Structure 1
């Protein structure tokens, strides 16, 4: 294994922390790609896998807390303008951000947990949590739980692929395609679902 990722992983667990933290700030590569890669290349045994999960989850949660602090600092109006201006560059539609921000007001713990399973939203919705001044501890706890579940799934899959005797690259690529397809379907449902429901109600009404 060569290249920038190999150089970063040369720093051991600190390198893993840096990769997982950076992915939360700017999701390149996407988290599922990074986690599968780490599971396949950086976990020679089960105990190392558990340590990787701990480090990656702490890094993911730390990245979310950075965005939470940014949102808390700039407030709801500036956060809204920030997403409206720059959200499209990171595939975060302003309308999606606002709908999820409204959901935050109703049940911030559940939304903080579920946000960890939604593409792009999992990276930047903490801005809304901070801007709305939601309690930091429940937000951090829900984010930690969600990140643990998300990271565990992909790290473990990568680890199992490594020892399966199958073509890890091909199987990993198929998994990534399936995940991307599911994420795309979810985002389309989130984007067009409310409009479809309104049209159905208009027809039936």
Structure 2
């Protein structure tokens, strides 16, 4: 994975970093935890401008999150809840999850968005309830930009700091990545099973 990312960045430069981070936040094919450290390593080696790397990674991530937020805001909570109740059992979400997330976001506001931007997983997912709850753009976007910049900068700095140990890291990053993906698959399968049972109970309680 690391070598593939390095090859893409070497061929496309900062624009490639922007596209990788955009794709990671719309439909995560490669985690930012792999993208930005590689970019930081390249910057540390003098192959790329550090500021350009940071801005490209941050911009790509912010744009990806904006796409989720604006889509959820346009569709609206009622329609998303209806879709979740009808099809959510296939992806692990039901209407009550949407309502709970919206209430939590309205309660905690910008701090919730800011903190989630620095957490693997929630950093992209938080954009959907933010859009559903119609969080004000003047609140959502500054919190998103700040949180994303902190996370991107941290990952880039990690790659910069670990430049002297990059070859050693590469030996254990690949098997670790496989183990993480396998664990995620198991957890997601359990979550789908649990959601289907919740969905069935909801149908029974509604009398449908």
> What TM-score do you get using the length of structure 1 for normalisation?
0.71
Residue of structure 1 equivalent to 2:187: none
Of the structure 1 ranges 31-40 and 140-149, higher mean CA displacement relative to structure 2 is found in: 31-40
Whole-angstrom distance in 2 between the partners of 1:33 and 1:96: 30
> What is the deviation of 1:8?
5.7
Matches within 5 A, 1:91-102: 93-94=93-94, 98-102=99-103
State the Cα distance separating 1:121 from its structure 2 match: 2.2
| CA-based RMSD | 3.7
Equivalent in the alignment of 1:152: 153
Aligned residues: 183
Q: 1:52 to 1:145 in 2, by over 3 A?
A: same
Do residues 117 (structure 1) and 122 (structure 2) align? Answer: no
| CA–CA separation in structure 2 for the residues paired with 1:3 and 1:46 | 17
Do the aligned partners of 2:65 and 2:127 also contact (CA within 8 Å) in 1? Answer: yes
**Contact 1:9 / 1:16 at 8 angstroms: preserved in 2?**
no
Other-structure match for 2:40? 39
- Report what 1:190 is aligned to: none
CA 96–28 in structure 1, closer or farther in 2 if over 3 Å, else same: farther
**Please, which runs of 5 or more residues in structure 2 have no aligned partner?**
185-208
8 Å CA contact retained: 2:118, 2:150: no
SS at match of 1:134: coil
Partner-residue secondary structure (3-state), 1:119: coil
Cα distance in 2 for partners of 1:93, 1:28 equals 21
Q: TM-score with structure 2 length normalisation?
A: 0.70
CA distance in 2, matches of 1:9, 1:78: 43
CA apart distance, 1:82: 4.7
Is 2:85 the partner of 1:75? no
